Amino acid sequence: MTDLAAGHIPMMTPNVGATLLQFHRAGTVRILAIAAQQRMKAAPDIPTAIEAGLPGMVAANFNGLFARAGTPRAILDQITQLTRAAMAEDEVQKSLITSGFEPILDSGPEEASGMVADELARWVPIIKATGFKME
Amino acid sequence: MPMNLLGRRRFLKYGLAAASAAALPAPAFAYPDRPIRLIVPFSPGGATDVAARLWAEKMKPTLGTVVIENKGGGGGVIGATEVARSQPDGHTFVFGNTSTQVLVPAIMPKPPYDAVKDFAGVYIMCLSPTCIVVHESVPARTLTEFIAYAKANPTKLSYGTAGAGTMTNLSGELFKHLIGTPEITHIPTRAPRPA
């Protein structure tokens, strides 16, 4: 981030956090677009890449709970219910937004597994096309 | 079965539980019956860790203690593998992310787990989007202007990330792929921080 702010590198594709938004507000750097389906609660004035003319430019990290396959459905449902109740609290949402996250209020077992399937379907061809390698 | 093999205490616990479960119409298991473990597959102190601790704190009144175990390493694969091999009894969860649940298993030649078959999704708590950001000296006010500039000057451009193999790296590669400028150079600016 300091390399970008100092002009040593012209461009970055980082996660959107508080420090980056400060540099953006100060005019040192310019966030041209957010790589997400929706605008961010922490920066509602910045357009998504989709809005700005580059459909497909969606690259967001998700965070969430996963259990071992075969865990009883009643347990998954109970955890989902408790997590939804927690996520409905303002204080929880604020705390996540401050840490640079977009809280998700209506997830669950289908949504979580669906997210993995969707992301695999989206990234595998890109990984192959770009010859992307792990460090 | 000889009692010394099964163990008297275990027989009393599981044998009687099984007997009473068979006799009752409703499920008779108590959940949870011991502290829940939440494996955070990254080192402590990162944003992922903050979100995981917040969840654990909120579960405490109903589920009791949630023990957080930070098991970093291998892009999160070490911690996630432990959950992929745990008992499917709801007492072990991984606070996974796109790396552990999607990218690492897709990229590794021989991943230690199957992202789809070995896990049950429970809840995606939050997203952390990436963005396209340029230094103020770059002559582009909008994304459309920047795409035109990048296509005209691809060899002049480089982009920085938190490190090779991270989502920020993939985001940059996606951008290059979408606008057709493979010449833009990737510069890993520093070692990856805790996710």
B87 near A CB under 8 A: yes
pLDDT band with cut points at 50, 70 and 90 for residue A45:
very high
Q: Are the beta carbons of B177 and B147 closer than 8 angstroms?
A: no
Cα nearest neighbour of A39 on chain B: B129
> Does residue A115 belong to the interface with chain B, where contact is any CB pair within 8 Å?
yes
In angstroms, the CA B161 to CA B139 distance is 21
CB contact B151 to A (< 8 Å): no
Asked if residue A80 lies in contact with residue B122, where contact means CB atoms within 8 angstroms, the answer is yes
Per-residue pLDDT band at A1 (split at 50, 70, 90) = confident
From the CB of residue A94, how many other CB atoms can be counted at a distance below 10 Å?
12
CA distances from residue A101 to A35, A63, A93, A113, B173 in whole angstroms, order as listed: 13, 9, 9, 20, 22
Distance CA A33, CA A22 (A): 16
Q: Which residues of A touch B142 (CB under 8 A)?
A: 32, 52
Q: What are phi and psi of B130, to 5 degrees?
A: -90, 175
> What CA–CA distance (Å, rounded) separates B55 from B97?
15
* pLDDT given for residue A134 in this prediction: 65
Give the total residue count for chain A. Answer: 135
Rounded to an integer, the average pLDDT of A99-115 is 95
Rounded distance between C-alpha atoms, residue B144 and residue B146, angstroms: 5
Under 8 Å between Cβ of A133 and B165: yes
Could you tell me which residues come within 8 angstroms of residue B9 by beta carbon, excluding any fewer than 6 positions away?
Answer: none
Determine the average pLDDT of the residues in A100-127.
94
- A78/B134 Cβ within 8 A: no
Picking from A14, A27, A66, the nearest residue to B136 by CB comes out as A27
Residue B147 neighbours by CB distance under 10 Å: 21
Q: Assign A99 a pLDDT band (cuts: 50, 70, 90).
A: confident
- Does the domain made of B36-107 have the CATH classification 3.10.129.10? no
The residue whose two tokens read 């259990």 is A67
Torsion of CA B143, B159, B177, B145, to 10 degrees: 20
Question: b/e for B78-97, b at 16 or more Cβ within 10 A?
Answer: ebbbbbbebeebbbbbbbbb
| B50 reaches A (C-beta below 8 A) | yes
Pick the residue with more confidence: B192 or A32?
A32
A93 close contact with B: CB closer than 8 A: no
State the pLDDT at residue B19.
46
Buried b (16+ CB within 10 A) or exposed e, B106-119: bbeeebbbebeebb
Q: Does B39 touch chain A (CB under 8 A)?
A: no
| Of the partner residues A49, A92, A114, the one whose CB lies closest to the CB of residue B132 | A49
Beta strands at A60-68 and B119-135: parallel, antiparallel or unpaired: antiparallel
Whole-model pTM?
A: 0.82
- Count Cβ atoms below 10 Å from residue B137 Cβ, excluding itself: 9
C-alpha span between B4 and A125 (Å, rounded): 56
C-beta atoms of A49 and B117 within 8 A: no
Per-residue model confidence as pLDDT tens for chain B (195 residues):
444 444 444 444 444 444 444 444 444 468 999 999 999 998 888 888 889 999 999 999 999 999 999 998 888 899 999 999 999 999 999 999 998 999 888 888 899 999 999 999 999 999 999 999 999 999 999 999 999 999 999 999 999 987 777 789 899 999 999 999 999 999 987 544 455
In chain B, residues with a C-beta closer than 8 Å to the C-beta of A102 are 126-129
Facing residue for B117 by CB, picked from A29, A69, A114: A69
Quick check: A86 contacting B, CB < 8 Å?
A: yes
